[in-house]
Amino acid sequence: MATTEDPQAQSLTRNVQHVVLGNLRFQTWYQSIYPEELVSKDTDILYVCRWCFRYSCGIDTHASHTRLCPHRTTPPGVKVYDHAGYSVWEVDGADHKLFGQNLSLFSKLFLDHKSVFFDVVSFLYYILVFTDPNTGDNDPNETYHILGFFSKEKLSWDANNLACILVFPPYQHKQLGKLLMGVSYKISRWEQDSSLIGGPEKPLSEMGSRSYGRFWEERIARHLLLRSSSDGNDAAVGATLAQFDDSKTQKPASNRGRKKHPYELMTVQEIGRATGMLTEDVITALRGLGAVEPATPSKTRKGMQSSSGDGEAIPVVIRRSKVLEWADAHKVSIREPVREEGFCLSQSEHAKNRELVIPDSDEEE
Ligand SMILES: [Zn+2]
């Protein structure tokens, strides 16, 4: 994910100043914990294999490794997504321990907030790969590029669908983080089982909050726009914020009859179930969209002013026109960053997921 960290301020504490990854040389941002006997504290350039992240301070050792790297033609693991040259491969840390460790060490050079997990066995790594169909034939070294990854705990008690995410610096600002985040939601399988709804591991770093904030806003905006467009008119959406507990959710069906709302009533939990997002993340996104207004204080009950009261419903209105405005201003494509057809699932699983297919219009690419 993108950042504007100040590399200068960090340079004194960094053990490695630059890395060479394939044919790219770039500056590191943070300290990693490479073993000192192999990577001294004042290493200017660390050579890293772009296929397996094996590292070396010497260019000769590096060169002889890359000629023989076992992963030079195909990434490790199993392909789970493939669309338009971009693919995502699931690498089990238990099967590829060294790969997991070397990837963690390398990514730590660009992540400050997460500790590197050496317990790679309990993690899955999803690496983002780009294969340029035009270069492979001309240059045998140009097989594929790993652009970033995210990791995920195999068993997360906190319903985390992602632990760490990083797009390597040379590939940032290309919307690739959104692609990875989209994949992380999809493979959490919340569509099959809503008890699997989750989100990234918290707390998020500053850059993580920014990236996720935007990703969630877009996801919710798409959901609201596509959903309400079926109603035809510019109906507002009534939601209830500050309801964190599903059991206290007011049922929209019971409300619908009693007052003639010009709104479609839904709860934050329902939005969450439709988008696979945690209630707290839905609320963050709704606020970020700036489309939330307090509902007109009608004759209604105490709920309106409920202080910070737990469980009290605070009705709000989300105007579709505001969401549209937001989407316009931020040039948000109605199309999801990941394509449904890109997932390498069995046909029956595909069929089950069809409901999420987004219409083919309004592309920005
Ligand atoms: Zn290698």
Q: What is the pLDDT confidence band of residue 227, given thresholds at 50, 70 and 90?
A: confident
For residue 365, being part of any structural domain is answered with no
CA of 55 to the centre of ligand 1 (A): 8
Whether residues 100 and 177 fall in one domain? yes
CA of 92 to the centre of ligand 1 (A): 17
Question: Which residues are within 8 A (CB) of 334 and not within 5 positions of it... i.e. 6 or more apart?
Answer: 222, 225, 226, 327, 358, 359, 361, 362
Whether residues 134 and 241 fall in one domain? no
pLDDT in tens, 295-353: 765 544 433 333 334 445 667 788 888 898 999 999 998 888 899 999 986 544 544 44
Active site residues: 201
In the prediction, which pLDDT does 355 show?
42
The tally of domains found in the chain comes to 2
- The token duo for 256 is 């619908």
Whether residues 226 and 282 fall in one domain? yes
Whether residues 188 and 239 fall in one domain? no
Q: What percent of the chain has pLDDT over 70?
A: 72
Whether residues 104 and 186 fall in one domain? yes
146 or 270, which is more confident: 146
For residue 355, being part of any structural domain is answered with no
pLDDT in tens, 81-131: 999 999 999 999 999 999 999 999 999 999 987 666 678 999 999 999 999
CA of 186 to the centre of ligand 1 (A): 29
CA of 205 to the centre of ligand 1 (A): 30
pLDDT in tens, 200-222: 999 998 889 999 999 999 999 99
Domain boundaries, position 289: 218-329
For residue 167, being part of any structural domain is answered with yes
- The token duo for 143 is 């097989």
CA of 327 to the centre of ligand 1 (A): 42
Look over the chain and give the mean of its residue pLDDT values, rounded to a whole number: 80
In the prediction, which pLDDT does 252 show?
42
For residue 80, being part of any structural domain is answered with yes
pLDDT in tens, 258-284: 445 567 778 888 899 999 999 999 999
The pTM for the full model equals 0.81
Q: Is the peptide bond before 203 cis (omega within 30 degrees of 0)?
A: yes
